[in-house]
Chain A
Amino acid sequence: MTQAQQVDRKLSPAAGFWLRNREVLKKEFSVIGTRVPRIESKNKVTGEARYAADMKFPGMLYGKILRSPYAHAKIISIDTSKAEKLPGVKAVVTGKDTIGARYGLWRLREETMDEQGLALDKVRYVGDEVAAVAAIDEDTAIEALDLIDVKYDVLPALLTPEDAVKDGAPEIHEGIKNNISVNRRIEVGNVDTAWDKCDFVMSDTFKTQVVQHVPMENLASVSIFDSTGKLTVYTSTQSAYFVQCLLAMALGMKEGDIRIIRTFTGGGFGCKLELMGDAFCSALLSKVTGKPVRIAYTRRETFVNSRQKTSMKMDVKVGVKKDGKIHAVEFSTTLDGGAHHSYNVTTTMITGILGTLPYRIPNYRYNGRHVYTNLPVTGAMRGHGAMQPVFALDHMIDLIAKQIGVDPAAMRIMNATQPGDVKIPNICHVSSCGLQEAIAGSAERMNWREKYGKLPDGHGLGIGSYGFFCGALYNYFNTKRPYAECWVRVNQDGTVHIFTLMAEIGQGCDTVISMIVAEVLGVGLDAVTIKSDDTGIVTGDTGAFSSRTTMMAGNAAKAAAEDARRQLFIAAGAKLGLKVQDAFDIKDGNIFIVRTGESMTIAEAAMAHQNANKGAPVLGRGIFTPSSHLQEGTVVSPTWSFGSQVLEVKVDKETGQVSVLNSATAHDCGIALNPLAVEGQLEGSIHMALGYALTEICKFDDKGYMINANFQDYKILSALDMPPVDSIVIDTDDIHGPFGGKEAGEGLTIPTAPAIANAIYDAVGVSIKSLPITPEKILRALKEKEGK
Chain B
Amino acid sequence: MRLPKFEYLGPKTVQEACSLLAQHGDKAKVMAGGTDVLNVMKERKIRPEYLIGLRAISDLSYIKADADGIKIGALTTLTDLANSAVVKEKFPCLAEVPMKMATVQIRNMGTIGGNLCNAAPSADTAPILICLGAKAKIAGPKGERVVALEDFFTGPGKTVLGKGELLVEIQVPNQPAKTAGAYLKMSRVSVDLAIVGVGVVVTREGDSCKDIKITLGAVAPTPIRAKKAEAVVKGKKIDDALLEEAGKIASQEAKPIDDVRGSAFYRTEIVKVYTKRAIKQAMEQAK
Contact = CB atoms under 8 A, between A and B. Distances in A.
Contact of A715 (B39, B186, B188, B273): B188
Contacts of A717: 189-190
B2 A138 contact: yes
B142 interface: no
Contacts of A713: 260-261
A749 to B, nearest CB: 18
A298 interface: yes
A655 B269 contact: yes
Nearest to B186: A655
B196 to A, nearest CB: 10
A133 to B, nearest CB: 15
A707 B186 contact: no
A414 B5 CA distance: 66
Nearest to B266: A776
A299 B270 CA distance: 32
A654 B184 CA distance: 14
B191 interface: yes
Contacts of B273: 654-655
Contacts of A712: 39, 193
A586 B235 CA distance: 86
B4 interface: yes
A699 interface: yes
A655 B189 contact: no
A776 B188 contact: no
A776 B191 contact: no
A779 B261 contact: no
Nearest to B188: A715
B48 to A, nearest CB: 16
A617 B5 CA distance: 56
Contacts of B189: 695, 715-718, 720-721
A290 interface: no
Contacts of A138: 2
B270 A655 contact: yes
A142 B47 CA distance: 14
Interface residues of A, number: 26
A717 B191 CA distance: 8
B83 interface: no
Contacts of A740: none
Contacts of A775: 266
A708 interface: yes
Contacts of A582: none
A746 B123 CA distance: 39
B1 interface: yes
A708 B260 contact: yes
Interface string B251-263: 0000000001111
A717 B190 CA distance: 8
A776 B263 contact: yes
Contact of A718 (B190, B193, B266): B190
A298 B266 contact: no
Interface string B1-43: 1101100000000000000000000000000000000010000
A718 B260 contact: no
A652 to B, nearest CB: 9
Interface in B173-210: 186, 188-193
B258 to A, nearest CB: 11
A704 B266 CA distance: 25
Interface in B220-279: 260-263, 265-266, 269-270, 273
Interface string B55-91: 0000000000000000000000000000000000000
A713 B260 CA distance: 6
Contacts of B190: 717-718, 720-721
A654 B39 CA distance: 35
Given A655-B270, A708-B260, A299 B1 contact: yes
Nearest to B265: A776
A139 interface: yes
A361 B266 CA distance: 40
A138 B188 CA distance: 35
Interface string A719-753: 01100000000000000000000000000000000
B243 to A, nearest CB: 12
A707 B258 CA distance: 13
Contact of B192 (A655, A708, A715): A715
Interface in A278-337: 298-300
Nearest to B272: A654
Nearest to A710: B43
Nearest to B44: A142
Contacts of B266: 775-776, 779
A646 B190 CA distance: 23
A708 B265 CA distance: 20
A139 B4 contact: yes
Nearest to A722: B190
B158 to A, nearest CB: 20
A720 B188 contact: no
Contacts of B5: 139
A87 to B, nearest CB: 14
Most chain B CB neighbours (cut-off 10 Å) among A142, A716, A720, A776: A776
Interface string A648-664: 00000011010000000
Interface in A731-784: 774-776, 779-780
Contacts of B270: 655
B260 A720 contact: no
Contacts of B193: 712
A299 B2 CA distance: 11
A137 to B, nearest CB: 9
A712 B188 CA distance: 11
A713 B39 CA distance: 13
A406 to B, nearest CB: 35
B154 to A, nearest CB: 23
A131 B191 CA distance: 37
B191 A139 contact: no
Contacts of A654: 273
Most chain A CB neighbours (cut-off 10 Å) among B4, B103, B269: B269
A721 B187 CA distance: 12
A657 B270 CA distance: 11
A298 B42 CA distance: 11
A721 B260 CA distance: 20
A712 to B, nearest CB: 7
Contacts of A721: 189-190
B260 A699 contact: yes
A699 B262 CA distance: 12
B265 A720 contact: no
A528 B182 CA distance: 58
Interface string A693-708: 0010001000000011
Nearest to A711: B191
A220 to B, nearest CB: 14
B2 A139 contact: yes
B206 to A, nearest CB: 28
A298 B1 contact: yes
A654 B272 CA distance: 9
Contacts of B263: 776
Interface in A447-478: none
A654 B193 CA distance: 20
Nearest to B196: A655
Interface of B: 1-2, 4-5, 39, 103, 186, 188-193, 260-263, 265-266, 269-270, 273
Given A139-B2, A716-B189, A776-B266, 14 more contacts: A139-B5, A299-B1, A655-B186, A655-B270, A699-B260, A712-B193, A715-B188, A715-B189, A718-B189, A720-B191, A775-B266, A776-B262, A776-B265, A779-B269
Nearest 3 interchain pairs by C-beta: A720-B190, A776-B266, A654-B273
19 contacts: A138-B2, A298-B1, A299-B1, A654-B273, A655-B186, A695-B189, A708-B260, A713-B261, A715-B189, A716-B189, A717-B190, A718-B189, A718-B190, A720-B191, A721-B190, A775-B266, A776-B263, A776-B265, A779-B269
Interface of A: 138-139, 142, 298-300, 654-655, 657, 695, 699, 707-708, 712-713, 715-718, 720-721, 774-776, 779-780
